[in-house]
Structure 1
């Protein structure tokens, strides 16, 4: 069974949130950070990874995504703060900037 990830992104001010699903979390976050993730995340500059879950099976991922999208904003923030109380970008160490381009780090 293929694993997947459900993730929550936000902007620098933590005012807007986006919930997505992917089979490759690092690749997908890199896409968001470089502006090719989605029109919504690009429009609102949602590039900071606040939360993610690894889930077995893409159908389960999609079901979890739908569940989280139906949650109230406060519930989502509480979920994020359980594992990320300071609401920092969890992917900050995943990438390096080289020659003006953002690349996946070896770390």
Structure 2
């Protein structure tokens, strides 16, 4: 069975509040953050922009990477975002399926 999982970063705005998470369904999870469906950090701080993501083969490896990155300094996370997405564009439209 082919599994896919992602580590992702949501942001409130460029250089704003960021949230790091992992999921096996990136489009659905990003939509949940955007719509504020689930109470929590991203809803409270308005993290609605999908600004970075990384594909992994399994949810387990994505979660390992997520926990590794959560221990990083903020500057390192910002460097990851700007390496993939220097303009901090919202990547949701690129991954959302109609």
Structure 1, unmatched stretches of 5+, are 95-103
* Number of residue-to-residue matches in the alignment: 97
Q: TM-score w.r.t. structure 2 length?
A: 0.89
Structure 2, unmatched stretches of 5+, are none
Q: Which has the higher contact order (CA 8 A, sep 6+)?
A: 2
Give RMSD over aligned pairs.
1.6
CA deviations 1:33-54 (Å, max 9, x no partner) are 1102441000000010110011
Larger Rg, first or second structure (1 or 2): 1
CA deviations 1:12-62 (Å, max 9, x no partner) are 253211001111100111111110244100000001011001100111011
Q: TM-score w.r.t. structure 1 length?
A: 0.82
Are the structure 2 counterparts of residues 92 and 2 from structure 1 closer, same or farther at C-alpha, using a change threshold of 3 Å? closer
4+ runs of 1 displaced by more than 3 Å?
A: none
> Which structure has more strand as a fraction of its residues?
1
